[in-house]
Structure formats: C-alpha cells, structure tokens
Amino acid sequence: MAKVNRKHIQEAYIEGIRTALLVDDRFPTFQTSLNGKHVEEVEKERALKLWKICRDRKWLCDVESDIDKARGHHLHQSDLLVLDYHLDTTREEDPSKALGVIQELSCTPFFNLVVVYTAEPELDGVARDIAFCLGAGGEPCSDEERASLDELISEKEDLGEEIPKPSKRVLNAFMKGRRDNGFLQEVIDLFGHGPQVPKLVQRIIEHYFEKKISGIGSNVDRRRGRSVEFKAAEDPAKLKWIQSGNVFVVVVSKTTSPFRLISKLEKALLEWSPSPVHLMLAHAKNEIEKGGVEQSAAILNDRTKEAAWMFHASSNDGPADHEEKVGQLYSGLFEALGNNVTPKVAEFGARFLEPKAPKVALATAKKMAKLSDDVTKEDIVFKLNEFLATTKFTGRQITTGVVFREKTAANNSDSYWLCVSPACGLVPGQQDEWERGLEPSLPISVMRLSLTKASDAINKDLKTATRCRRIFLEADGKRLSLVMMSEESRTPNLEKVFVDGGGKVSAGDTFTGHIVGRNGHRKIELMSKTFEVIAILRPEYANRALAQAGNHASRIGVDYVNLP
C-alpha cells in the first residue's frame, strides 16, 4: 500500500474545514471592541493574523475570549478550533478549562481538529497534560483505591519521607502504558514489596497531575482509559500532538507565526499517519457535504419532483406507516447521493490502497490499522464478512433478512432465525385472506439457524465463507457463526413464526410472537416467545437467502432408481 502523503492529508482533513473558532481569554472580540475594553496590542495583532488566515482560505471565522460562551453556542459546530491553553483569567496557570474542552470534543460524534496555541514554554509538558486527561496511562484509581493509597502516601509524608517524583522519562513511559523500572524500584524502596505497588506508582503519578491541573474532578473529568496516541519529545524542534477518540490536537508555541499554524497541523497529521480508512471516511464526509448541496439543488430546481416528494410523503393511500414512507424518500435521496459521491471517494482511496496478494494485503492492513499482536487474521476476516453481509437493524417492521433470536435474561439463547418472507408480503394490508384472518398476528417464513460459538469452529467456518452458507456476526461481544444450510444436506430448515402486532418491532429491537413446538407432554402447541433483532442482512444477501428458501419450498421429488 502506498504511503499516506501530505496531499492525502490536505484533501481529507484541511479541505474539509468550513468554519474556524479562535478562543483565547486575551483575544479581542466584536463585543469587547464595542465596549471599548483595552486589549493588548500583541494579542490584537495575533488574533487579526489568525482571522486573516481563515478568511483567505474562505473559512467562516469567529473569535471568542470566553470559553463558556463558546461552549454554549458554536464549539461543536466548528471544523477547526484554535485554543489557548490558559483560559481562566482568575487562575492564570490553570489549564483545566482548555483540557475540559478537549475532553468534551474527544467524545463528540464528529472528528475535531484542535491547535493549542500557547505561551507555555514547555510544550512537551502541555502534550503530556492533554494525553493524561484524554486517558493515557490506563484506568484511573477508583474512589476507594484513591482513599486507601492517599492514606499510605500521607503516612510517609508525615514521617518526613520524600515521595519519589516522576521524571519526564517516567511520565512518558506511563503515558504509553509502560513501566519505568527505576521509578518502580524507588517506590518499592519506600513502601516495600506488595500487591499495592503498581497502584501506588499510578497514584503518585496521578498526584503529580492533580497538583499541576487543579481542575481535575471539576472542569476536567476523571474518566480515562481511552486509547491515546501522542508524541511529546523534549526536542523543541519536534512536533507535539495527541489523538484520542474524535479529537486530534497539535500543540504550537505562540512564538510561532500564526501563518505557520496550518502547516504545523498538516505535518502533525502526517506524523500521526491515520489509517487509510480514517482518511477515506474524512474525505467521504467532505464529498458528501458537497454532493448534498448539489443533490438538494437538483431537487429544489425541479418543482415537479418537489411536488412528487410531498405527494408521496403526505398521501394517505394505504396502511403503510407514515414515517416509513418519508424514510423511503430519504433512502432514495441517499442512494442517489451515494452514487454521485462513490466514484470520487473510490478514486481517492485507490491512490494508497494498492492491490496485493491476500496474505500480504492482510499483514499490511493489520500494520496500517495499528492493531496489536493479539488480533489474529481470523479476527480481521470475521469482521470483514460481518461487514459485507450484515448491518445494524434500524427499522420498526419485520422484513426480509432480519436476523433474530429468542430473548433470554442472560442473552445466552441458542435459538436464532432469519426472516425469509418476501418484503412485499410483510407490509400492512398486503396479506392474503388466510393471513388477514390471523390479524393482529403476522405469519412469517423463517429459516432456523444453527449456532456455532466455539472459536476454533468459527475459524474453520471462515475457510469456507465463500460458500455463503453462514452468517458471521458479533452479538454481546461474542463472535457467532450462524449456519443457514449444512454442508451435508444443503437444505434450509424452514419454519413459521406468528409475530404479534402486525410485525412491529419495539424501540428496544424486540418483538413478541409464537412458534410451533412441543410442550412437556409432547403435544404440539403455539408457544409464546419474546424475540430480539440482532442484525439485518444487506439487500443482496437477504434476496439470496429468500431465493434459496423459495427454491427449497418449490422443489420436486422424482423417483430415479440406482443400479443395485
């Protein structure tokens, strides 16, 4: 696979920026200029340069000095945030407000680009603070652990003992989940051997940050343990950046010209080396935004089509669910949008996703995705087959391709089914006379699925995945291989389920119904069950299963005779 280069970074991330927000407690704003408040000339000049950079790139730009106001209005609506590190005018050395904002952005549904533009001389220290607050170093001590460990530390301090101070080397090792043996030995020398030593090391390092960042627990959430990538070399010439969740942060000194900020951001993104999929999704988002504008224009410029939309959405011409009808219109729009955008996105991705032999491609993909050694090739191929064949169910009506199971308290059901009724026959009002006589129950044809849970057996199933006799998906964190047809019989097990409520699925993806079975006295009866939808097959896979079920139901047996 070709190496990601700066041009890819620009197309995926920089060209997608439409709006920028500049936040610094010393920056002038429109409001402060109207009020006639004095602003330091150097800060006024810096804000003006940043604003000019944004306008020259045709970005909408806003300047704010109060982060609390920005939080309440447009913080989450900006594609780029240029953020001062010390935002509290009452506590000049406290960075907790900025750290709280970065934490907040890491948990948003959108990818956020942040430039921390700071007068702080130790940029590596700033990067470590950010990395720590985003989760580097693992799960924090619990409240109970903190109380117990703090008591041990206080006892030593009361005796005049000096608690070991973590060096930059120790902090960097901790951030990357590694142990510094020298520091560990210092802690052992003071507190002795014991099972509490690893937690003591962690608590001493937490103490270091809590003293430095007074807002931990108020402005800064204690939650940690997220995956964090960061670079915080002491060399002032090297970039300092952090990536976690949906935020990417580069730390830049205010001694750097504002005109170099975007270049610094690009270089930091290139050093991070995002996976091709991350790049492709970012690029796709930009193309979808542009394509959406074109698609909207195409619809709004065609008044007849606009009227057709409204007619279909508002006409009460049958029992079909109103929201479902509106959803169909949107599905058509998104399909057209996808068809318009796909060639551009595919061309972008093809530049660095070069074709290779399967084994080489698998090893390269694992490396580029930065997966740990414990992730196997089987794990990757399982995820691929799951993605290719299934997707999350978001509807409210049973339809072709829905995969469901009997719902149990412990989610340990071994009973799984696949709906193989034609979708047209599941729409309310489209049933035949016999089916209408069963209302509000809706009889559906289903294929009973055999469950494979053992890891070794699933890995074996993956070797014959192209035979299309299994559904691979994950439920409750467990891999499942659901067999539609066995290798021996090659025939599906078809049954009927009578779904209550006309086939409606509740908000919790559950529904109730009845299956035919034998009771404790071996008599056949309808058994009431609660079912849970866990996925839906993609259309081409659902239609294939539908065809297989139909072929089996219409098979004709003939009496040839073998030679004795």
Q: Give the Cβ contact number of residue 493 at 10 Å.
A: 16
Q: How confident is the model at residue 554 (pLDDT cuts 50, 70, 90)?
A: low
CA distances in angstroms from 225 to 133, 177, 408, 483, listed in the order given: 10, 10, 31, 37
- The SS3 call for residue 321 is coil
Which residue has better confidence, 374 or 326?
A: 374
- The SS3 call for residue 266 is helix
pLDDT at 522: 85
Residue spans of the domains in the chain: they are 6-136+225-273, 142-213, 275-375, 377-553
Q: Please write the tens of the pLDDT for every residue from 446-474.
A: 999 999 878 899 999 999 999 889 999 99
What angle separates helix 181-191 from helix 143-158, to the nearest 10 degrees?
70
Q: How confident is the model at residue 296 (pLDDT cuts 50, 70, 90)?
A: low
Compute φ and ψ for 288, nearest 5 degrees. Answer: -65, -40
* Residue 114 exposure: Cα atoms within 13 Å on the Cβ side: 33
pLDDT at 34: 44
In the chain, the percentage of residues whose pLDDT exceeds 70 is 90
| b/e sequence 123-149, b meaning 16+ C-beta within 10 Å | bbbbbbbbbbbbbbbeebbeeeebeeb
Measured at the alpha carbon of residue 71, what is the angle toward residues 281 and 65, in degrees to the nearest 5? Answer: 115
> What average pLDDT does range 422-429 have in this prediction?
82
Q: How confident is the model at residue 29 (pLDDT cuts 50, 70, 90)?
A: low
What angle separates helix 303-314 from helix 276-300, to the nearest 10 degrees?
100
CA distances in angstroms from 199 to 184, 188, 205, listed in the order given: 11, 12, 10
- The SS3 call for residue 170 is helix
> What average pLDDT does range 367-391 have in this prediction?
92
What's 397's DSSP letter?
Answer: B
- 6-136+225-273 carries CATH number 3.40.190.10: no
pLDDT higher than 60, residue 136: yes
Q: Please write the tens of the pLDDT for every residue from 71-113.
A: 755 677 789 999 999 887 777 788 888 998 998 888 888 889 9
Q: How confident is the model at residue 320 (pLDDT cuts 50, 70, 90)?
A: low
Q: Please write the tens of the pLDDT for every residue from 523-542.
A: 888 899 999 999 999 999 99
